[in-house]
Amino acid sequence: MSSASPETPDRSARPAPATQQMTARRAPNLLAFVATGAGAGAIAGLLVGALGPGALAYTRGAIIGFFLMAFLILGAAVGAVVGLVLDRISLRRARSVAAEVHDVHGDEGHSGS
């Protein structure tokens, strides 16, 4: 009997890892910026609605709700813009690095698409 079983692949038959040029960058998490902007906007809207002058035509709850939603939307939009600007800056700061490519799946039956 041979020491190599048919189930175990022959590691010496694998080609050496190839080196490939890739782009590396630190991209910001856009959802975090939108959520932070929305939270800050909601707090600002809550404060403006609660501390602002009251109106006889509307209840205090309606005023707070209106300002809360308006500032929440504005804050989310500002957060998205800040995140997109930082994403654009990270594209400019991207650098090219060399990475070793290892074939972990092998070529048997893998179409690659």
pLDDT digits (tens, 9 = 90+) for 59-78: 888 999 999 999 999 999 99
pLDDT tens column, 3-29? 555 566 555 555 666 788 888 778 889
Task: List the Cα angle 21/23/28 in 5-degree steps.
Answer: 160
Does the structure show a pLDDT above 60 at 38?
A: yes
**Residue at 111 is within a domain:** no
Q: Which residue has the tokens 């932070």?
A: 36
**Count of structural domains within the chain:** 1
Closest CA to 55 of 67, 44, 43: 67
**Residue at 91 is within a domain:** yes
Q: Which domain holds residue 66?
A: 27-101
Question: Do residues 87 and 26 lie in contact, with contact meaning Cβ atoms separated by under 8 Å?
Answer: no
Dist CA 44 CA 36 (whole Å): 12
Q: pTM (2 decimals)?
A: 0.65
**Residue at 57 is within a domain:** yes
Structure tokens at 12: 């010496």
**Residue at 35 is within a domain:** yes
